[in-house]
């Protein structure tokens, strides 16, 4: 089964001997022959054979303890039996073969991408199959491509072989960007304008970072139905990402209760337990009734200091993912009480997007992706916004490959010395993988403001700690 998988991945031509042998194996273990057809999606297989859905879930995940115990038992039996025969007997060969067939199906469908021009249906099918691979690895659909599974406690992953299995903690950060790269390649090979002009085909598209990037790059060339469908896809994606980020912001710590502010006397703040406890002396045994002469309410006001958040985002071609994520994140923080958010995007020119910061959809439509990078023009807009340094945080998201390195860094160092919190961010992409100019990286480290890179959760935590 695995030889067939490798043969199909590296050579699209069928190997007759491997194909016929694999067909015999699949039929012998009671699986459908459609598992061997790369043109049949996992969704189709599961629809025809619903019982397989549960087998695909967590297919490549094994419990660490169970795996270790099985290995120990097999080794003990091998030592006692004086050979490998006892260890082999301890393995469930039938289960391994079945598992190999299912794993091969998922891997082949995902990594054997269609050649030539890609249709909306083919892209949608690939995204669905990629979702099944993510399920097989113990993640939710879209988590690996979206970077929301920074690790897992599911234990090792493997494919049922007898050797050591790869650690998911190392596998997931590697496979996520590769899936994103395949998806981006498929999107680029689409005749996107033709697809968007057809409402039926556009409806088959599943929003992804790669697709949104292409839509933002091509938005000025779209009109009519195509432009309306493009905007609908962008808004859908923005809403989905915003929901995830909003949850992360809400989970972070918030300010302490401010008991100097009287509680609002509204029903939702009524402290029922305390009200009953404080009025127990008014209980009438004869009437079996509690008379309440005073109501108690919960404090909900938080101690917060008005803060200013200035987000500067590099919108050059290498930072598209960050642009989308940070635009949405800025809009979420703009909705918090006593947080004044400003958003600046730049390449060789700077654009103040603050008037639209509450609406990430409108903000993204005003961006102009691509071009060079000159952070000094963004700095000229950002510096005048720092009125009270102690209550200001400046988040600068870029790969820091700049035209004017020395002047820009000196301006950033001046912000840090003024007492404002300066957070340089190398990557808040879906994959968490980006290249940062080593010249800037070293100087930020020496200054005591190391570059923050990786998953967007890190930036959420930093901002939440400062702002509340």
Question: Per-residue pLDDT for 149 more than 70?
Answer: no
**What is the chain's mean pLDDT, rounded?**
78
Question: Per-residue pLDDT for 379 more than 90?
Answer: yes
Question: Per-residue pLDDT for 157 more than 60?
Answer: no
Complete edge-to-edge strand list for the sheet that includes strand 350-352: 350-352, 339-346, 307-314, 392-397, 421-427, 452-453
Q: What percent of the chain has pLDDT over 90?
A: 14
Domain 307-467 has CATH 3.40.50.410: yes
Q: Looking at mean pLDDT, say which of 18-27, 107-116, 140-149, 261-270 comes out highest.
A: 18-27
Question: Per-residue pLDDT for 156 more than 60?
Answer: no
**Global pTM value:** 0.59
CB neighbourhood size of 247 (10 A) = 9
For residues 214-225, give the mean pLDDT. Answer: 83
Q: What percent of the chain has pLDDT over 70?
A: 77
Between CA 54 and CA 261 the distance in angstroms is 53
> In a 3-state reduction of DSSP, which class is residue 168?
helix
Between CA 317 and CA 25 the distance in angstroms is 48
Question: Per-residue pLDDT for 253 more than 50?
Answer: no
Question: Per-residue pLDDT for 112 more than 50?
Answer: yes
**Range list for CATH 3.40.50.410 in the chain:** 307-467
What b/e sequence results for 333-372 when a residue is b if at least 16 CB atoms lie within 10 Å of its CB, and e otherwise?
bbebeebbbbbbbbbeebbbbbebbeebbbbbbebebeee
Question: Per-residue pLDDT for 118 more than 60?
Answer: yes
Pick from 46-55, 216-225, 384-393, 444-453: least confident? 216-225
By C-alpha distance, which of 320, 404, 432 is closest to 370? 320
Write the pLDDT tens digit of every residue in 50-103. Answer: 889 888 988 888 644 344 444 555 555 555 555 555 555 556 788 889 999 999
Between CA 136 and CA 104 the distance in angstroms is 12
How would residue 212 be classed by pLDDT, with cut points 50, 70 and 90?
Answer: confident
Instruction: Supply the pLDDT for residue 44.
Output: 87
Cβ 463 vs Cβ 309: under 8 Å? yes
Q: Looking at mean pLDDT, say which of 31-40, 84-93, 147-156, 173-182 comes out highest.
A: 31-40
Q: How would you write 71-115 as a 3-class SS string?
A: HHHHHHHHHHHCCCHHHHHHCCHHHHHHHHHHHHHHHHHHHCCCC
Write the pLDDT tens digit of every residue in 333-357. Answer: 777 767 788 999 888 888 899 999 8
Instruction: Supply the pLDDT for residue 150.
Output: 41
How would residue 410 be classed by pLDDT, with cut points 50, 70 and 90?
Answer: very high
Cβ 179 vs Cβ 145: under 8 Å? yes
Question: Per-residue pLDDT for 417 more than 90?
Answer: yes
Instruction: Supply the pLDDT for residue 166.
Output: 44
Pick from 63-67, 158-162, 412-416, 426-430: least confident? 158-162
For residues 298-327, give the mean pLDDT. Answer: 73
Question: Per-residue pLDDT for 151 more than 50?
Answer: no
Enter the tokens of residue 292. 């309440």
Question: Per-residue pLDDT for 30 more than 80?
Answer: yes
How large is the C-alpha radius of gyration of the chain? 28
Between CA 266 and CA 295 the distance in angstroms is 11
Q: How would you write 259-311 as a 3-class SS string?
A: CCCCCCCCHHHECHHHHHHHCHHHEECCCCEECCCCCCECCCCECCCCEEEEE
Question: Per-residue pLDDT for 170 more than 80?
Answer: no
């Amino acid at each position: 089964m695995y030889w067939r998988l490798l043969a199909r991945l590296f050579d699209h031509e069928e190997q007759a001997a491997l194909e016929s042998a694999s067909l015999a194996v699949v039929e012998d273990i009671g699986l459908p022959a459609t598992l061997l057809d790369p043109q049949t999606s996992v969704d189709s297989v599961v629809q025809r054979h619903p019982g397989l859905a549960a087998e695909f879930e967590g297919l490549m995940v094994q419990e660490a303890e169970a795996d270790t115990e099985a290995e120990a038992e097999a080794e003990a039996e091998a030592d006692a039996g004086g050979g490998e025969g006892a260890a082999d007997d301890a393995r469930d060969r039938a289960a391994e073969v079945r598992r190999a067939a299912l794993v091969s199906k998922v891997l082949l469908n995902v990594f054997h991408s269609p050649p030539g021009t890609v249709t909306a249906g083919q892209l949608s099918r690939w995204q669905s199959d990629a979702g099944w691979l993510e399920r097989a690895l113990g993640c939710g659909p879209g988590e690996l491509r979206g970077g929301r599974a920074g690790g897992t406690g599911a234990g090792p992953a493997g494919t049922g072989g007898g050797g050591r299995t790869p650690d998911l903690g190392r596998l997931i950060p590697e496979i996520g960007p590769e899936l994103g790269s395949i998806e981006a390649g498929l999107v680029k090979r689409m005749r996107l304008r033709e697809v968007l002009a057809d409402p039926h085909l556009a409806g088959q598209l599943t929003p992804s970072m790669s697709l949104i990037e292409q839509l933002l790059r091509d938005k000025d060339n779209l009109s009519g139905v195509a432009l309306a469908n493009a905007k609908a896809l962008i808004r859908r994606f923005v809403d989905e990402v915003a929901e995830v980020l909003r949850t992360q912001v809400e989970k972070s710590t918030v300010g302490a209760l401010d008991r100097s502010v009287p509680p609002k006397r509204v029903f939702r703040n009524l402290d029922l337990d305390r009200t009953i406890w404080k009025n127990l002396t008014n209980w009438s045994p004869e009437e079996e009734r509690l008379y309440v002469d005073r109501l108690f309410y919960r404090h909900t006001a938080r101690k917060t200091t008005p803060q200013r958040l200035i987000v500067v985002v590099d919108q050059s071609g290498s930072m598209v993912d960050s642009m989308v994520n940070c635009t949405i994140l800025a809009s979420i923080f703009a909705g918090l009480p006593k947080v004044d958010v400003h958003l600046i995007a730049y390449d060789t020119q700077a654009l103040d997007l603050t008037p639209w910061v509450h609406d990430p959809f409108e903000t993204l439509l005003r961006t102009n992706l691509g071009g060079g990078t000159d952070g000094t023009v963004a700095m000229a807009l950002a510096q005048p916004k720092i009125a009270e340094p102690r209550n200001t945080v400046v988040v600068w998201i870029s790969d820091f490959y700049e035209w004017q390195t020395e002047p820009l860094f000196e301006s950033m160092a001046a912000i840090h010395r003024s007492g404002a919190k300066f957070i340089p961010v190398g990557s808040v992409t879906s994959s968490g993988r980006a290249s940062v100019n080593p010249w800037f990286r070293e100087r930020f480290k020496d200054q005591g403001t190391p570059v923050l890179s990786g998953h967007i959760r890190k930036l959420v935590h930093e901002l939440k700690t400062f702002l509340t």
